[in-house]
Amino acid sequence: MTALLEVSGLAKAFSGVHAVDGVSFAIEAGTITGLIGPNGSGKSTMIDCISGFLQSDAGSVRLSGTDISALAPQEIAHFGLVRTFQSVRAYDHFSLLDNLLVVAAPFAEVTWLDAFLRSPKYRAVRRRVEERARDLIAFVGLAGHIEAPAAILSYGQKKLLALAAALMSRPKLIVLDEPVAGVNPSRINGIADILRRANADGTSFLIVEHNVDFISSLCDHVIVFDQGRKLAEGPPQEIHRDPRVLDAYLGIGESTPARLPVMS
Amino acid sequence: MAIDSAYLIQLTLNGLILGSLYALIAVGLALVFGVLEIINFAHGEFLMLGAFAMAFLLPVFGLQYWPAIVMAVIASAAAGLVLFELFLARLRQSEFERSILITIGVSMILLYGMQYFFSATPRLVDTNFGFAGLDMGTVRITWTRVLGGAEALAAFAALYAILNFTQFGRAMRAIAQNREAALMVGIKPKQVARNAVVVATALCGLAGAALAPIQNVEPAMGQSVIFKAFALVIIGGLGNMLGAVAAALLLGLAESWIGGFFNIAWQEVGVFAIMIVVLMLRPDGILQRGRMRVQ
Amino acid sequence: MKRLALGAGIAALAALPLVTASNYLIGITISGLLYTVAAAALNLVYGYAGLLSFAQLAFWGIGGYGAALTVMSLGGSFWSGLIVAGLVPAILGIVIGLPTLRTKRHAFVIVTLTFSLLTDLVVRNWVDLTHGPLGIPGLPVPTLLGFDFGTPARFYYIVLGFTALALAFLYVFGTSRIGHILKAIKQNEVLAQSQGIAPLPYKLAAFVIGAAVTGIAGGVFVFYLKIVDPTILDFYYMQTFLIVVIIGGAGSFWGVVGVGLVMVALPEALRFSDDLRMVIYGAILVVAMLAMPQGIAGWFEQRRVSALRAALK
């Protein structure tokens, strides 16, 4: 059986600097995978390449066996790979509901003419989609603001909105770029909960995060990046014992493996 | 058709002088684009202000050319400072459209305001040189043209010296080339932007003042020349001053030669057609450098 | 409430020729309506899609020349002239839009500006076709099924009918899912792409529809003037459309339409000189861009957001 996402030999350089340098890994369907690594280790470049916002120099990305490495971001989204952004993005002037109604996939069967004329078919689809949008906004706990413009949301709330928007199209894989960075710590458990529930419903996740606690409590599998290469991968328990990881990521050598409170 | 060589030389010299004055306008536009990354739609109005300042100041100084032109340049630079402090200084990053709309508004106020107060009627400007000129055999060029060309040359020399040998000139180039790096070495973008705007409007005012005794002075004179200057700046490579100067000299020559023999207008069509083609072939061109805005 | 105001507005406009015999008043209302249509089209392009297009001026002029030449050189009717006035700008919109809409917005602004300047130069110099600076005078009176629209009052109803149709079309388009996506692309193009939206077809649609509507408005306008000459490409028109969009609030349909009708009519009615009016417009533009960059509608929205934020705390 092919993996859900298969990255092989992916490389990307910026004016000679190898941001991603021949990386290969696979993600199995139904899992939550963590991607960790020091700042500047190439994680962001990596997910920009996977999601089509950057064109890789070499290598391939396969989603359920289909090569998506030459596709535009919007095409990749239609194949079932959706991402969120580290610098949180939302349509500030739209209500939360309208934010979610932008997502294209649920309207795939509706033509422009349908949309322009508000044909019965369009209205039927739109009713269904709106219902799902309301459910998702409630799911991430923002039901109270559903008609308010996104501009009033806090930083952490916008991350939740982005998560709801990502879930709108029922993607196979969601790539989350730092879902809890800068979020009030009291909310982090809530976010982990939401992700677990979405995962139980069949969505796989690839999560880039610095918060190692968050990653190790949530993920089935962790990939560690350093200097554009994959340093190690495996279950979180193994990763936190790997001396190379300790050295590169936590800046402490083999001599002090005992001091790892965050991994407990 | 046999071309009279004296006529050709005459046209060539006139064309070079005209081209060097166009270059003064285009260089300022390129400088402001490079440092602030905005398009100043009101730039042409500073040409008009310089010309009107000349027209008003000459009688004050008893038609004496030199004091009037010095004062006209100072007045244009002062107006440029006002433009910057009142409007451009308030622009933030990624407000390209806003900069265009604001400068269009300023341009409307200046152009139609002058038209309202002084009417659209073209006026002729007389100087102490009158129609006297420099005679070189069969070729004769009026002093006002000779001086216009000489002032343009002097201005370019001064600009070159400023950009290469002074602290504030080097800061402008640094910002235009790499904003982030410039900020890291402690260059203050707002001051540099102010300097760039003042220098650019002074150059444009000089062009206007020098043109005043050569052409008709009218409120719309800036508007008709600014679009030509846009074309020059783009063909020369946006933000690239040498390119703009070369393009301006060529345009001046072309206008003078073709105007001497043919219908003047089709070559303007050519200029704009080239401009569209250039843009479509390498649309990002020099625009790509990006992120060089005033905070 | 909105419907009531709309109904009253339409009734007042429809009754205008019945209550006044002043050709001057009817004339300024005709220009006001057509400027409003052109501004609403620019609003679709700039306000919804975020594309500051200076090509609107060229489309306005090309529409005018297209309609005039269809009638005067090809012997077509006024109505077929209007079709040409919409079609030619639409095709040019595709030709310019396809390559430039992929590029950065800086390049788009400059290409569209250059296109308008080029159009002006071509019109002035292609004397065989356009009669150069002299223009094409003597445009005939439109007729329909034997009824002629010879008086300003009768022509006014053509303008009113076209305005109603064009605005209704722009409204339905703008409030559809397509308009919603255009606004999304304007706010955050990258996010829209990540949500499966391909920006180019949407931007192109807005640009081409804006071109066609502006072209037809230009076509109607020159038949009101009964002459088309290069002054139809005066930057003045572009400035007017821009002011209406900026003051009304880019992206706000009713703001733009309301401000269009008021702003164009008011200074005309106050009988300022043209120059003073343009000075006032320029000052309004500058002040608006400095004080409320989102226009009147945006200013109200901002207040609403602040109020909501305050209520949360």
Which range of A30-39, A65-74, C201-210 scores highest in mean pLDDT? It is C201-210
Closest-CA distance, B113 to chain C, in angstroms, reads 6
Band (pLDDT 50/70/90 cuts) for residue B286 is very low
Contact predicate C84/C90, CB 8 Å: no
- The pLDDT score that the predictor gives to residue C269 is 63
pLDDT at B3 over 70: no
DSSP B278: H
The contact set of B with C (CB < 8 A) is 39, 87, 90, 96-98, 100-102, 104-109, 111-113, 115-116, 223, 227, 230-231, 234, 263, 265-266, 268-269, 272-273, 275-276, 279-280, 283-285, 287-288
- The pLDDT score that the predictor gives to residue A257 is 40
Sheet containing A5-14: order of strands:
A17-27, A5-14, A58-63, A66-67
Band (pLDDT 50/70/90 cuts) for residue C238 is very high
A36 closest CA partner among A207, A175, A190, A247: A207
Band (pLDDT 50/70/90 cuts) for residue B287 is very low
Among C114, C125, C242, select the one facing B275 at the smallest CB separation. Answer: C114
The average pLDDT across C260-286 equals 79
pLDDT at A37 over 90: no
DSSP C44: I
pLDDT at B108 over 50: yes
Band (pLDDT 50/70/90 cuts) for residue C6 is confident
Tokens of C193: 């792409």
Enumerate the residues of chain B whose CB falls inside 8 A of the CB of residue C107.
Answer: 279, 283-285, 287
Q: Chains with ≥3 Cβ pairs under 8 A against B? A: C
Band (pLDDT 50/70/90 cuts) for residue C267 is low
- The pLDDT score that the predictor gives to residue C87 is 97
* Inter-CA distances, B19 with B24, B145, B235, C64, Å: 9, 12, 15, 35
Please provide the average confidence, as pLDDT, over all residues in chain A. 86
Per-residue pLDDT reduced to its tens digit, A131-169: 999 999 999 889 888 899 998 888 888 999 999 999 999
Burial C119-143 (b: 16+ CB within 10 A, else e): bbbbbbbeeeebbeeebbeebeebe
- The pLDDT score that the predictor gives to residue C294 is 67
CB contact under 8 A, B108 and C273: no
Q: For chain A, what percent of residues have pLDDT higher than 90?
A: 40
Per-residue pLDDT reduced to its tens digit, C127-138: 888 888 888 988
pLDDT at C105 over 90: no
Contact predicate C98/C204, CB 8 Å: yes
Q: For chain A, what percent of residues have pLDDT higher than 70?
A: 93
The average pLDDT across B148-173 equals 86
ipTM over 0.85: yes
- The pLDDT score that the predictor gives to residue C53 is 93
- The pLDDT score that the predictor gives to residue C58 is 96
Please provide the average confidence, as pLDDT, over all residues in chain C. 87
Burial B6-24 (b: 16+ CB within 10 A, else e): eeeebbbbbbbbbbbbbbb
- The pLDDT score that the predictor gives to residue A97 is 94
Closest-CA distance, C178 to chain A, in angstroms, reads 7
Least confident window among A221-230, B77-86, C297-306: C297-306
Band (pLDDT 50/70/90 cuts) for residue B135 is confident
Taking CA–CA distances from C197, the nearest residue in chain A reads: A74
CB contact under 8 A, A98 and C180: yes
- The pLDDT score that the predictor gives to residue A256 is 41
User: On the CB side of A176, how many CA atoms lie within 13 Å of its CA?
Assistant: 29
Per-residue pLDDT reduced to its tens digit, B227-268: 778 877 777 766 677 777 887 888 788 777 766 665 555 666
pLDDT at C66 over 90: yes
Do chains C and B have 3 or more beta-carbon pairs under 8 angstroms?
yes
CB contact under 8 A, C187 and A92: yes
Per-residue pLDDT reduced to its tens digit, A58-102: 889 999 989 998 899 999 999 999 999 988 889 999 999 999 999
Contact predicate B161/B199, CB 8 Å: no
Per-residue pLDDT reduced to its tens digit, A220-231: 899 988 888 888
The average pLDDT across A207-218 equals 87
Q: Chains with ≥3 Cβ pairs under 8 A against A? A: C
Closest-CA distance, B253 to chain C, in angstroms, reads 20
Contact predicate B172/B58, CB 8 Å: no
Calpha distance A179→A190 (Å, rounded): 12
The average pLDDT across C164-183 equals 95
Least confident window among B113-127, B239-253, B281-295, C178-192: B281-295
Please provide the average confidence, as pLDDT, over all residues in chain B. 80
Q: Is A144 exposed, middle or buried (CB count within 10 Å of its CB: 0-12, 13-18, 19+)?
A: exposed
pLDDT at A3 over 90: no
pLDDT at C106 over 80: no
Interface test with A, best of C171, C186, C194, C304 (most A CBs within 10 A): C194
The average pLDDT across B40-67 equals 88
Q: For chain C, what percent of residues have pLDDT higher than 70?
A: 95
